[in-house]
Structure formats: structure tokens, C-alpha cells
Structure 1
């Protein structure tokens, strides 16, 4: 053939060894070339788990009002069986560049879900600051405001980054958000549905488990590169859910037969009903945007939990919203929804007649309004027996005993303990759903050794080392949000005048006097609590004279948002209770819910 070639250059052009260069992410995002670390992780918390069925991707950003991330994670984890948890990875993308904030969120996740982090169920990543372009130089598209263009463009890049990290982790990838509620067994349902569709060998692109936005969209990880590249190419042009629609339309539809496009897309974009996820966040990550959309396919979830409470007259110092009164909540007909709780507001339950209360349980917030909680609110009981005959130091001026609290602990460098009575502004609503007063295992203290007659050493009546061992475990487990309450709840007591006793009420006293507890790092007072040597973790060892038991509690010096629950038990030595109240100590510019109120007296074993 070469002999027949007439041109010299033509003959030399065969197999030149030169490859064609296809465009890459650097062509669509040229700013990545400005920083050699642009595609490197700035932060990684991982046990390198791989080969699972489901990878759940959750991007989270700093919100102006309230972060729903912990509520979302708790809900997702609660919906997994142990077997499902071993076959799932939850990857959290902290889509911020301020390392201080990244570490704050990572630490909070690790502290609240230590076993899930240790097992590899939860991973946390954060991008390099060089990953993002100069958002001030973006083109204004779709007639949107500059702020909205920045917000949706960054969201596209966040999704692309998260998908890129997750694509080698498992078989299926599910896109979630940080402000959602999942139905029980959601993972098992998604896994089964995806496997069934794959086994039929019918082509599908996305399995949709939520009708809203980009929530609950399941993809094969092998097909994520299609999405990643598409998001990178058009990140400045359209919102992420529009881009998904355009991609599928481009792949599936015949423009000459446009009438069939919707039906053709439905074959590969398969909707599962009823929906498995609901959007719960009211405040969008876009500043000023209020998101009220709900997935009607999700169905209803329990918003309150009724109980058969003892007869009582209820008095609310907080104005209720519409039909959501405190009386109806106490009767188990609905939840209580109060407007703008203020310091000094009280919810009072006058028991008629007085009863010997065994247990109590109060739950604030509910599934649709998880942020509407009571913060810095104490649970207090008033015995019929004169207060001077009881050995309690945590007594109010009008004769109520503080038995527990729903607490928002103050910020960094304070120990996570209860009874922080500072006027912290929550900025969130409050919902009371159920009234379940199961009693705070608050045990009336008796002297453990009558011969010693030591008024400073008080323990529950007739308790032995076995119970104290249980106490130690329970107290350790609950200390992360409510150390002092946990100690009281399980019966460890000390009078306030015990300067050298390593007991929680020492901290409790400090909180009442100063509004904060600050460990004195490297102090020399000789007090094991006040001279804490670790700014981050404070380990409190309670040595109980007269026994071999010790109560060990570790508290973190960080801000802790409680679960909005107060519960416990009361010992018979307190006697009959005439009144119980919730006493608010913090101002709020929003509402609050009580979704559960349960008071259990000795005649009502449920």
C-alpha cells in the first residue's frame, strides 16, 4: 500500500503514537488548576469501609437558624437494624472551608455517635477551599438573584464532590439532605427494591424514594460519572434537580416524538410509593428562604404520644397555638404547642388528689417540628410533706424540688452538665407532645452508713453494689448531655457544703451560682473536679464512701443540644406529690412543643 502512496507526509502519518485529549473536570472548572490541592480532601474521618450495598450521601452547610444534622443522623441510625448498619455507609460532606467549623461538626458527630464512627458506619469529609470557584464571578442565569445563583451553583459542586468520593464505596448511592425524616426500615426497603429492579434487567437510571427535590434519589454507583460530569459542566446554569431531569431527558427522549417523552422517562426514573423520606427543615441553607414543602406521599407520622395520666388541673403560663392546649396534651388528645416561651413561664400540673409519683417523662419537639423544643427548662415537684423534713439541697424558694431538666448546655469550654440556668436564646420553637411523668429515678437520699452519720454522703435508700454498678453505667451513658441530671436521676447525692466531695452537685451548685462551669486547667485547689487537666474531656470520678462503688462520667467541653427529653423516677420517701411543673429559664423568639407527657403514680403501672 505504501508503494501506491504519492505523498511523503501522507506515508509517515500512520500510527504516530499521539493520543487525543478528552476534556476533564479541569476544563469545566478551570479554577481547579490554580491550587494543587483543589481536589484533595481538607478533612477525613473514615474507617475505610467499602463494598456495602448502600452509600448514603449527606451534604451539610452552616445554617443561619438551626442545624438539623444531628436529628437527621439520629433518625437514620434508628431506622437501621444491626445487619443493615453493617451493610451501609453514611458519608457526611461538611461543605464549608472554615476548618474551625468543620472540626466543630466532626467532633459533635463523633461525640454523639461514637460507636457508629468507630464501626465505619459514619464517615465525614470536607473539600479543600481550592475546590470552589470565585462565586462572585458567576454568570447570572435564569433571572435569579446573585445570592441564589451562588447557592445553587455551590450545591451542584457539593453534590459532584460527594458523589465522586462515594462512587467506589458501594453498589448503590442514595442522595439525601441534612434535614430529613426517614421511615423505619427505609434501608431494607430501598435495598430490596433496587435489587429487584436490577434482577429484572430492565434498564433504570434512578429509583426515587421521595417526591421533593433531590432527596431520596438512588443511583448505581457505576453510573455516577454521568451525573458528576453533567453537574460540573452546567453547575452555573441550572439547579441540581433540573439538571437530573435534563440528563435523563437527553438520554431517553426522542425529540421527534416528544409526546412519549414523559412515559419514556417514567420507565427509567421509577418512583417508589409511599415515599420513604420527608423534608423537615423550615429554614433553608439559602439565607432568608423558608422551605414549607412536604412530600404528601410520605404519609403521617406520630406527632404525639397519649398516656392515661392521674387527674390534675393544668395551668399554662405560655399561650397555646390554635387547639394545641396543655389540657388536651395532658389528656392525650394532641400535643401542646406554645408560643414564645419566656424566662419565668411555667406549665403547672396540680394533682387532684396528690399522688405518690413513681415516674415522669416529658418529650419536647416532634417528627414534623424537631427544633421546637424546650431548652433550659427544669422539671420540679412539690411534696405534700414539709420540705424541711427532706434531705434535698436542690429546692426552689417556693418549695419545689428540681428533679430533672431539658437543657441546652453553654458553649465551648464548659462541661456538659444540667441545670444551666443562663438566659440562652434558643431561636427555635417549642412543642410539647406527650406528658409521661415516669419519675426521675430521683431517689430520696438516706445515709448509707448510719454509724458514720455523715450528712455529706447521701445515696438512694436500700441500694447495694449491684445497683451502684448499674448506676455507673447509666450515668456514663447519659452524661454527654445531662451529667448532673444523670447523677441525680440515678441517685447520687451530696450536700452543697461538701467542698472536697467529687459529686455532681458540686457542679450543679457552680452552675446555679455562676451560670457556667469552667474547669480550671492545671489548677491547684486540690479539688479533683475544679482542677481538671483536660480542656476537652472532663472525667469525674464519684467515690461513694461506705461502698466500693465509683461513678465515672466523662463530659465534653462543647455546646450540646439536648434531645429535648426529661425523665426519671421518684422514691417513696418523697411521699405524695401535690404539684409538678416545668419552669422555663431561657428566652425564645419562637414556639415550643410538648409531644409527650406521662405521669405514672403507684396505682398506674402501665
Structure 2
């Protein structure tokens, strides 16, 4: 076997690193473009959630200006962000007509505390167009004031977001095909929500599910904890020990995490990918005490701020 000389090895390593950096730049540029396009599409109306033909709803004008980001929040000094926190709430169809979204959104709004520069970003990620339209109409009817005030925004996925499930998806972890599709789609949806939130120029992005109940003043607690404890090494903060619920990300990391999820969408569930991400960031080689180091890049809150209330899983409908 012929051994490569050291200069040639170095040249090959440099070439590999150059190609890897170039690939990442392309992905990041594409992700930033999609983030901008998502924000522009929302202004044009992927789903028109304004209430047609109705007069202006009765809401205090000062509050309305604050909710839209036109005035500074009364509880903190002005920041170079349009929004303090975007809460991403993906929702899809569940069996037997079970819907948890309305109660979840109502509690998110009522229990938020004093934080006013917040957007509840409802993402109707259902491929059944009729159901998606009915859900959009229901949200519009039940949350008219909040939509008009900019507190709630409703979006749907772009047409080219999902892969061809029959040809592009691999069967991984020895799971059933319907389960692989379900968790893979969840990863893609989480990735897209992060891109969209980045385009809204928010300081933090909080990912939850559509069947959780937050505790009182949950946003006040998150805001205070994150602002006091966040450091440069933190990848994300966790405000619920269950799965991917209650994970908070800083804006500067959103596109990186979004690209990571979009790259490995087919391999593992969302919470497993988060676990692998913190190990990727924190651990070197050989991986000595990796789990201990990985925990150093996650900011944990001592109490759970979200209760998982859903009893009927959206996974069941895909079992056929």
C-alpha cells in the first residue's frame, strides 16, 4: 500500500474543509432566502386570517401598537428586535375530530404574563387541504382580536417543503413506515418554523406542541430566566422535560438549528436530534464524559412550565 506524503494529505484535508464550508454557506444562504420569503408570503397572506367585512375590533390602541412591535414593551428596555418571543405551534389533523389547538392557544395568550411583544405562530402543517382551510376559518372566528392585534399569525407550508415520501424517505430505526413519516415530517415542520421565526426578527423562539397547557406567567419566567442565565455556550434552553416541548432558541442560532433539522430529518425523532445537537456542539474526540459536557450547553429550568394535556396522538391516523 502506498502511503500519501504529508503535503498531499494536507492538501486533501484543506480541499475537504473548503468544500464543507462552501456547502454550509450554500445551505445557510438558501435558508436565509426561505426565511425572507416566508415572511414576505405571510404579509401577502398564505392564509388570509383577517376578518373580511368586519369593523375594527375593540382593543386598546396602545396595546395594539405594542403587540405589533411599534412600541417598546413596558417591562423591558427597547431591544433591536421586532418581537421578544415567537411561540411556534405546529398543528395537524388528529383522529375522530379531536382538536386541542384552541384551548392551547387561549392558554398561551391568557397565561403569558406581562410580556406583550409576543407572536403566537400557528402553523397548519396538515396535507389535507380541506381540513387546513376549516382550521384556518375556526382560528379566525375564535381569535379575531388577537389576529388583528398581531398577537396571532397563521401560516401554512409552501408547496415545495416536503420530500416525496414514497421515493425520498428511508426506513430508519426499524420503525414502521407511517411512524417514520410522522416523525420526519415533524422535523421538517420544526425546521420551517425556525426559518419563519428568524424572518420575524425575534430575540427568542419557543417551540411547543398544539396540545399543551402553560403555567401562569410562563413567558415572564422564561424571559427572566433566559436573560439572566444565557451565555455564549448555550445552544438552547429547556422549560419542559418532555420531548421537544418548551425548547427556547436564541435568534442567532435559529438558522443553524433549522439547517441541522432539515439535513437529518429522516434519521431520528425531533427530541433525539436535539440531544445529538448538543453533543455535537459540546463534545470533542475521543468522547470523554460527553453527556456531562453536552448538558453544559443546555440551559435547564428547574420546573416544567408546560403540561402535556393531549390524550389522542396525531400518529394514530397514519397507521394504515
TM-score (norm 1): 0.40
Task: Please point out which of 218, 221, 231 is paired with 1:189.
Answer: 221
Q: Which residue of 1 aligns with 2:89?
A: 58
* Distance in structure 2 (CA, Å) of the matches to 1:111 and 1:44: 12
Alignment-derived partner of residue 135 in structure 2? 105
CA distance in 2, matches of 1:189, 1:244: 22
Q: Check if 1:90 corresponds to 2:91.
A: no
CA–CA distance in structure 2, aligned partners of residues 44 and 219 of structure 1:
28
Give yes or no for the alignment of 1:241 onto 2:241.
no
**1:140 is aligned to 2:171:** yes
| CA–CA separation in structure 2 for the residues paired with 1:95 and 1:224 | 19
Residue 242 (structure 2) aligns with: 212
SS at match of 1:172: strand
Distance 1:28 1:135, change over 3 A: farther
Report the CA distance between 1:95 and its aligned residue. Answer: 0.2
Superposed counterparts of 1:487-498, under 5 Å = none
Q: Tell me how far 1:159 sits from its aligned partner.
A: 0.6
| Shift, 1:27, TM fit | 12
Q: How does 1:99-498 map to 2 (within 5 A)?
A: 99-137=129-167, 138-169=169-200, 170-198=202-230, 201=231, 203-259=233-289, 261-287=290-316
Q: 2:7 matched to which residue of 1?
A: none
Tell whether the 8 Å contact from 2:281 to 2:294 is kept in structure 1 after alignment: no
Shift of 1:97: 3.6
How many residue pairs are counted as aligned between the two chains? 260
Does 1:72 pair with 2:104?
A: yes
Distance 1:44 1:57, change over 3 A: farther
Task: Kindly name which structure, 1 or 2, has the bigger radius of gyration based on alpha carbons.
Answer: 1
Distance 2:294 2:312 in 1: 32
Cα distance, 1:40–1:140 mapped onto 2, change above 3 Å: farther
CA drift at 1:279: 0.7
Q: CA deviation at 1:62?
A: 0.9
Deviation track 1:447-502 (CA, whole Å, cap 9, x = no partner) reads xxxxxxxxxxxxxxxxxxxxxxxxxxxxxxxxxxxxxxxxxxxxxxxxxxxxxxxx
Tell me if the contact between 1:68 and 1:178 (Cα under 8 Å) persists in the aligned partners: yes
Deviations 1:212-271 (A, max 9, x none): 000000010210111111111111111111111111101101232422x22212221121
Cα pair 1:139 1:236 within 8 Å, conserved: yes
Task: Compute the displacement of 1:150 (Å).
Answer: 0.7
Structure with more contact order per residue of length (Cα contacts < 8 Å, sep ≥ 6): 2
Q: Is the 8 A contact 2:83 2:117 kept in 1?
A: yes
Q: CA deviation at 1:25?
A: 4.9
The two structures have a TM-score, normalised by structure 2, of 0.74
- Structure (1 or 2) with the greater helix fraction: 2
Structure 1 stretches of 5 or more lacking a match? 1-19, 291-606
Kept in 1: contact 2:49–2:137 (CA 8 A): no
8 A contact 1:97–1:128 mirrored in 2: no
- Runs of 5+ consecutive residues of structure 2 not aligned to the other structure: 1-20, 51-63, 70-81
- The Cα RMSD (Å) is 2.9
* SS of 1:73 mapped into structure 2: helix
SS in 2 for 1:167: helix
Query: Which whole-Å CA distance do the structure 2 matches of 1:289 and 1:210 have between them?
Result: 27
Contact 1:45 1:125 in 2 (8 A): no
C-alpha distance in 2, partners of 1:178/1:285? 10
2:11 aligned partner:
none
